Amino acid sequence: MADAPRTVLISGCSSGIGLELAVQLAHDHRQRYQVVATMRDLGKKGTLEEAAGDALGQTLTVAQLDVCSDESVAQCLSCIQGGEVDVLVNNAGVGLVGPLEGISLAAMQNVFDTNFFGAVRLVRAVLPGMKRRRKGHIVVVSSVMGLQGVVFNEAYAASKFALEGFFESLAVQLLQFHIFITLVEPGPVVTEFEGKLLEQFSTAEFPDTDPDTLRYFRDFYLPTSRELFHSLGQSPQDVAQVIVKVIGSTRPPLRRQTNARYTPLAALKAVDPSGSLYVRATHCLLFRWTRLLNLGLRCLACGCLRFRIWPR
């Protein structure tokens, strides 16, 4: 007798990784999953429903969920049969880019409300049921920015660092209940959201920012960021495939990076745990050796630059 399908609740499914993951799980040929694909604004559900095709209403349902609202979370869970979630995927998130002096504290708090506290709110809601059943899997879409800071992404990186520390700490306790946590750490992901974000901030005004910093942001960071996404960016489909494999694993890992081409950049902190090598090398590449950085990114993209970096 086949096992009953596992209920998978995914936040942030109006586009990008969340949408692709929901569709891939719903079309699982073994029908192992019953997907509840959620989003804050149901007015944006059309793309998901079209991509779901015949799975809509069968192995995939769409529901409203605002991860920043206790009431919305409770309402969403009440609509799930039995209220039981076997796999939770915390995917909802927002970005924030720009010079620190030109970004309001309210904007930074909004990033944390969604990226960090939104994930915590969902986990608090599903955890009692998982503990009672002594099984479950919590997948958190983090970022390589949760492992290393990136210039002009301070608030976003901080929200991902917070996720990493919180869920690594929680993972120790939850093993006693046979509940697994996996932090998925994509590198650059090419989505419509990312493109609009970079375009929006390239023309944004940043009051209280000195001219030098504004020039560094517009003339150095933005062009390099576009090259990084062009050279090393993954598609949402690629990232979703990695998450599907993680969810299907019998012993899920605590961490899973999705982009092997980004590994040389992420490895700098492993080579020098003090962090000095990463900070100094990134500074030089961005502000002094921009052409070398762009060449290196293109080589990583085409595979002609192959090497391994081992921690000391």
**Cβ count within 10 A of residue 30:** 9
Closest by CA to 90, choosing from 167, 193, 187, is: 167
In a domain, 65, yes or no: yes
30 known member of a binding site: yes
Two structure tokens written together for 132:
């009672």
Digit-coded pLDDT (tens) for 240-260? 999 999 999 999 999 999 987
Is 16 assigned a ligand-binding role in the annotation?
yes
pLDDT of residue 272: 84
Q: State yes or no: 237 annotated in a binding site.
A: no
> How would you list the strands of the sheet with 255-257, edge to edge?
60-64, 33-39, 6-10, 87-90, 136-141, 179-185, 255-257
- Residue 36 tokens read as 């509840």
Which tokens go with 223? 């062009």
Report how far residue 39's alpha carbon sits from residue 49's, in angstroms, rounded to the nearest whole number.
12
Residue (of 170, 144, 193, 156) closest to 254 by Cα position: 170
Q: Is residue 238 part of a domain?
A: yes
What local confidence, expressed as pLDDT, does residue 1 receive?
A: 47
Strand-pair partners of 38: 63
Residue 245 labeled ligand binder: no
Catalytic residue among 156, 221, 262, 278: 156
Number of domains in the chain: 1
Domain of 22? 6-210+233-261
Could you identify the residue written with the tokens 């000391």?
A: 312
The answer to whether residue 274 is domain-embedded is: no
Residue 74 has pLDDT above 50, yes or no: yes
> How does residue 296 score in pLDDT terms, banded at 50, 70 and 90?
low
Q: Does residue 126 form part of some domain?
A: yes
Q: Could you tell me the CA-to-CA distances from 63 to 28, 71, 153, 215, 236 in Å, in that order?
A: 20, 14, 31, 43, 21
Is 216 considered catalytic here?
no
Instruction: Tell me whether residue 38 is annotated as binding.
Output: yes
Q: 185 has which bridge partners?
A: 257
With bands split at pLDDT 50, 70 and 90, how would you rate the model's confidence at 309?
very low
| CA–CA separation, 284 and 290 (whole Å) | 8
Q: For residue 245, what is the domain's CATH number?
A: 3.40.50.720
Is 82 part of a structural domain of the chain? yes
Does any domain span residue 301?
no
- Segment 133-184, tens digit of pLDDT: 999 999 999 999 999 899 999 999 999 999 999 999 999 999 999 999 999 9
Distance CA 134, CA 178 (A): 6
The size of the chain, in residues, is: 312
Q: How far apart are CA 33 and CA 10, in angstroms?
A: 12
Whether 211 shows a pLDDT value over 80: the answer reads yes
Residue 270 counted as domain residue:
no
Domain assignment present for 306: no
pLDDT of 52-67, one tens digit each? 999 999 999 999 999 9
DSSP label of 202: H
Task: Give the model confidence (pLDDT) of 2-30 as tens digits.
Answer: 678 999 999 999 999 999 999 999 999 99
pLDDT of residue 289: 64
Q: How far is CA 159 from CA 56, 123, 162, 216, 246, in A?
A: 33, 16, 5, 23, 23
